[in-house]
Chain A
Amino acid sequence: MTEVLQGARRLATAAVLCAAFAALLGGCASGGNVILLPEKDLRQTAISVKKGDQEVVLNQPYAAAKTTSAGPRAYVANAQDVATQFGPALAAQPARAAIFTLYFIEGNDELTEESARIVDSILSEIARRPVPDVLVVGHTDTVGSDQFNDALGRQRAEVVRVALMKLGVPSDDIHALSRGKRAPAILTADGVAEPRNRRVVIIVR
């Protein structure tokens, strides 16, 4: 009984504090909030904020919701709010992945001459990062079966992985994989030889 009373008193205190904050800052932060940040491709971006059957969808830059025990409440934030509240979290954001694409000769695991020359910039990107990890992803065009292309993609990725190792990148930091013909850079019908799809994508992160 006493506990219930204390609980009620705590809630009342929280409500008073909350009202004070609301008066000061134009909102009560006790439940937390969510803010969608601006970005280049708006089509891809949206966050659904739900509690039970209540939902607020954020789909514009700085669209925001306070998350309360009674459900999400939409509001509009701004760059200053984000910097004030989330500065340290944003400052700790890891560097974005750097992406390089190397092209291959048809049905083969040899690099084109032009691509062989990009290797230096890949190495300097790797060297720039304190704890780099490197994904080497093999892709093919649509000539041949899935099975054939999965193997060919893996073979191409492996060639690049070994080359990077020989150039001094620790093998623990490199992972090779194949996406076969699942993710063509240029969409084609099945069975089409397309040089721009015969590639290895190197993701340095």
Chain B
Amino acid sequence: MTRSLTQSQNHFRNALAGIVLLAAAAAASAADIGQIKVAKGQVAIERQGKSLPATVGARLQASDIVRTGADGSVGITMDDDSLLSAGASSELVLERYAFDATTNRGRFDASLNKGTLAVVSGRIAKQAPDAMTVRTPNAILGVRGTEFVVSAND
């Protein structure tokens, strides 16, 4: 009896710890990492399985997927001044983003699954070469600087 009580207490504690961790993760991922500055035609943001309108001014979070339609294009300014802009029929995933504005240290991993993307790297790549990567189905780009274009066909 005493033992099962202790066990259930442990379960409860573990569950609680899990909830706290989840809450911390949610708080961390809820931070704005960039903003849509330009949007033309059909553009959508997918966040945690839900589709959100990608209007000019919309703020972005880590793990967001930005998609453009056949007539769409989108321009994003990230917190570290990186500029990402995608042409039509593109899918861009902001996989991982961490940036400390005081030290300029950070990490930025994006994926272009399909379409076209123009990039001007920002302070993360300037502070530490290769701290920014762009992945496509066939390659990983290590970004030392600064302006480039990349395409991916699915």
Q: Which residues of A contact B (CB under 8 A)?
A: 29-39, 41, 44-51, 58, 65, 67-69, 72, 82, 85-97, 129-131, 133, 135, 137, 150, 177-180, 182-183, 203, 205
B74 at the interface (CB under 8 A from A): yes
Interface residues on B, range: 35 or more
B126 at the interface (CB under 8 A from A): yes
From A34, A45, A92, B144 is in contact (CB under 8 Å) with A45
Of the A-B pairs whose beta carbons lie under 8 Å apart in the complex, a sample of 30, sorted by A's number, is A29-B151, A31-B138, A32-B151, A32-B152, A33-B150, A34-B139, A36-B148, A38-B147, A44-B144, A44-B145, A45-B144, A45-B146, A48-B130, A72-B139, A82-B149, A86-B149, A88-B73, A89-B87, A92-B86, A94-B76, A94-B77, A94-B83, A96-B120, A130-B37, A130-B56, A131-B35, A131-B37, A133-B35, A179-B101, A182-B102
A92 and B40 contacting across the interface, CB-CB below 8 Å: yes
Q: How many Å from the CB of A80 to the closest CB on chain B? A: 13
A95 and B118 contacting across the interface, CB-CB below 8 Å: no
- The residue on A at minimum CB distance from B126 is A44
A33 and B151 contacting across the interface, CB-CB below 8 Å: yes
B148 and A47 contacting across the interface, CB-CB below 8 Å: yes
Q: How many Å from the CB of A93 to the closest CB on chain B? A: 4
B137 at the interface (CB under 8 A from A): yes
10 nearest A-B residue pairs (beta carbon)? A94-B37, A89-B87, A48-B142, A88-B87, A92-B73, A67-B139, A131-B57, A67-B138, A92-B85, A37-B147
From A46, A65, A131, B56 is in contact (CB under 8 Å) with A131
Secondary structure of the A contact surface, majority rule: mixed
1/0 contact string of B70-81 vs chain A (CB within 8 Å):
000111110001
Given A92-B74, A130-B37, 5 more pairs with CB closer than 8 A: A35-B149, A38-B147, A48-B141, A48-B142, A137-B101
From A32, A50, A95, A203, B37 is in contact (CB under 8 Å) with A95
Q: Which of A37, A94, A179 has the most CB atoms of chain B within a 10 A radius of its CB?
A: A94
- The residue on B at minimum CB distance from A88 is B87
Q: Which residues of B contact A137 (CB under 8 A)?
A: 101
Q: How many Å from the CB of B43 to the closest CB on chain A? A: 10
B139 and A50 contacting across the interface, CB-CB below 8 Å: yes
Q: Which residues of A contact B24 (CB under 8 A)?
A: none
Q: Which residues of A contact B57 (CB under 8 A)?
A: 130-131
Query: Once the chains are docked, how many angstroms separate the CA of A53 from the CA of B122?
Result: 27
Q: Which residues of A contact B2 (CB under 8 A)?
A: none
Q: Which residues of A contact B56 (CB under 8 A)?
A: 130-131
Q: Which residues of A contact B147 (CB under 8 A)?
A: 36-39, 45
